[in-house]
Amino acid sequence: MGRFFSDKVETAIRYIYYDLSAQRGQEGFRLLQEACREDDADAYCLLARCLYGQEYTWLGHDFPVDEDAADELIYQSVMMGSALGTLIAMRCGVMNKELQEAMPLASLKAAYDIILEKAEAGDAFCQMVIGNVYYWYDFLMIEDINPEDFDSDEAFESFIHENMLKCEYWYKSALDGGVATAGANLMLMYIDGIEGVLPPQPEKAKELDRIYAAKGYPNYQYFYACDLFDEDKHAEAFPLFRKAAEAGEPRAYFFVGNYYENGIAAPHDDAKAAEYYQKAIDSNIPVKAGCYNRLGAMYFDGRGVEQDYDKAFRLLKWADDSGKTGNWGAYYLGYCYTYGEGTERDYVLARKYLEAVDWDCQDAFFLLGWLYCNGEGGPEDIAKGVSYLQKAKDLPEAQEELSHYKKNFFGKWVRRDKTETVLRGLLRLHSMFGSDKKEAPQLPQPSTTFDWILTIRSRLNSEDTPTPAYGQVEKALRSLTTEPEQLIILWQQNPNNADAYWFMRCSVYARSKDNDIYLIEVAFPHNGGTEFWQKTVKYLTDALPYFDAAYHHKIIDFTGFEKQEE
């Protein structure tokens, strides 16, 4: 039999609460399970404490969490007469009037006296439990104290404050006795203070971190390393983070990984960084989205790990779905959705994520520019797309994409490879009228930035001639060119709309089936309006050279064209 509890229970307490760096918490957990099977009442409440989660035990033990099972164990502990279980039942909300009346112990005060005796005899775990009694005001219920018992409200408040501050002594005693988790509430008390009782004393909290970090408590090594990190003392912080991590403190894994990844106060080592990020992900820490993001980025880039877009996407999407990392992974997810890497291609989601990028990310700007210019994932907006491409001008792929766009005569951004590429010959119309071509009409001189429009329309020989389908004429025209897939033909349904001409590329209007006379027409702005010049040809083959010349950037001979009169 141990000094304060059974042998198994005392050993379990030592493994779970004292030497954390030994990482024997799971052994302690199994000992408590064995003791429960032997109907050890104290083991019931201590096993319940393990199942309540990180508020009751160290994260590094990685105990399962089952609050319902824990509540039942606490109840059984109280009903079996455990003084420890009785006081802990007050903390976890299991103790109520019915249980208090049914429990075998005479009163809450009787349970308190038993644990206080153990605490005064030097048991550090019981010292922590007594500290909780004062920190959480449980002494009022234990002593059955009411405000009516005092002469004034001030006297009642003075009594509360005096007793509440006793927690500081008991918590420090427990910490000095080796219970590494005994200072959590004390630290909060120093940081936040107690209204009307104790002002905030953050310097005391830092001193607490420093003292118990020096004692080798891994949780305090982590806390003190965080203090140093906040002060940009990275040369001091990194070794402490690493010591804490090596002792099993899971909250330190991310920081160690980050130091290795960035090469700050540590040698740059992507492989080690990835290893620590993975450890953090595999742990039971409640906040790990940052680890998912960092490791996801490493899989995306192939840094420290083999490049794997599937893993990258899963990790980054998990972090994004957590809602705790803002837009950190926006570029990576936008890229994955754009190219279908690690997930199905989805241009709508690609736009969504890339638009969330609010920092200077030229890779994101390039993708977003491409999506807008090509109408992928939403309406086409070449002007907006170009503005994004211009932000990514240092990227060769952005420069290449930008080369496909230009401003037209009206200052609107348009696609160059479907306008100027096809009609560049028309932009230099004035060069066609040299001294050797005096027979050409004097067409107005065009601006070098104007998108010329070349159309072909056919006239009916007879009003009774049936009209062929537009597709028939298009097919015939394509069959006559050596590069049918390169020829751009767009159908304009309202040829009388002059504005529409300015944004057309190349059109064919079919009016008859056989023996057509085709009207070749050029439209361009002049003197604030639009002038149309035309020429008729008998066969479609006679019209083809105009399209072919425009496509191959050749000068077009407009001999025989006449201005249309209004």
What tokens does 360 get?
């200077």
Does a structural domain hold residue 414? no
* Cβ atoms of residues 82 and 74 within 8 Å: no
pLDDT of amino acid 560: 76
- Shared-domain flag, residues 183 and 213: no
- Shared-domain flag, residues 138 and 211: no
* Cβ atoms of residues 311 and 281 within 8 Å: no
Looking up residue 210, the CATH number of its domain turns out to be 1.25.40.10
Last residue of a domain, one of 160, 189, 218: 189
- The tally of domains found in the chain comes to 3
- Shared-domain flag, residues 224 and 354: yes
Last residue of a domain, one of 390, 409, 432: 390
Does a structural domain hold residue 403? no
pTM beyond 0.85, yes or no: no
- Shared-domain flag, residues 161 and 32: yes
- Shared-domain flag, residues 356 and 438: no
- Shared-domain flag, residues 45 and 70: yes
Does a structural domain hold residue 376? yes
- Shared-domain flag, residues 232 and 316: yes
Last residue of a domain, one of 132, 161, 189: 189
CA torsion angle 467 471 475 481 (round to 10): 100
pLDDT of amino acid 477: 52
Does a structural domain hold residue 179? yes
Give the Cα separation of 367 and 244 in Å (integer). Answer: 42
Does a structural domain hold residue 525? yes
- Shared-domain flag, residues 239 and 166: no
Give the Cα separation of 290 and 37 in Å (integer). Answer: 41
Among 505, 498, 503, which Cα is nearest to 529's? 498
- Shared-domain flag, residues 73 and 149: yes
Range of the domain at 144: 7-189
Residue 534, beta-bridge partner list: 521, 562
Does a structural domain hold residue 195? no
- Shared-domain flag, residues 232 and 320: yes
- Shared-domain flag, residues 268 and 338: yes
Residues in the chain: 566
In whole angstroms, how far apart are CA 462 and each of 292, 299, 467, 476? Answer: 74, 70, 11, 21
Does a structural domain hold residue 558? yes
- Shared-domain flag, residues 234 and 259: yes
Residue 509, beta-bridge partner list: 457
What does the pLDDT profile of the chain (566 residues) look like in tens digits? 679 999 999 999 999 999 999 999 999 999 999 999 999 999 999 999 999 999 999 999 999 999 999 999 999 999 999 999 999 999 999 999 999 999 999 999 999 999 999 999 999 999 999 999 999 999 999 999 999 989 999 999 899 989 999 999 999 999 999 999 999 999 999 999 988 788 999 999 999 999 999 999 999 999 999 999 999 999 999 999 999 999 999 999 999 999 999 999 999 999 999 999 999 999 999 889 999 999 999 999 999 999 999 999 999 999 999 999 999 999 999 999 999 999 999 999 999 999 999 999 999 999 999 999 999 999 999 999 999 999 998 999 999 899 889 987 778 898 875 433 332 333 232 233 233 333 333 333 333 333 334 454 433 333 443 333 344 445 555 555 555 544 444 333 333 333 322 222 333 333 333 445 666 766 655 555 666 777 777 666 676 676 655 544 455 566 777 777 65
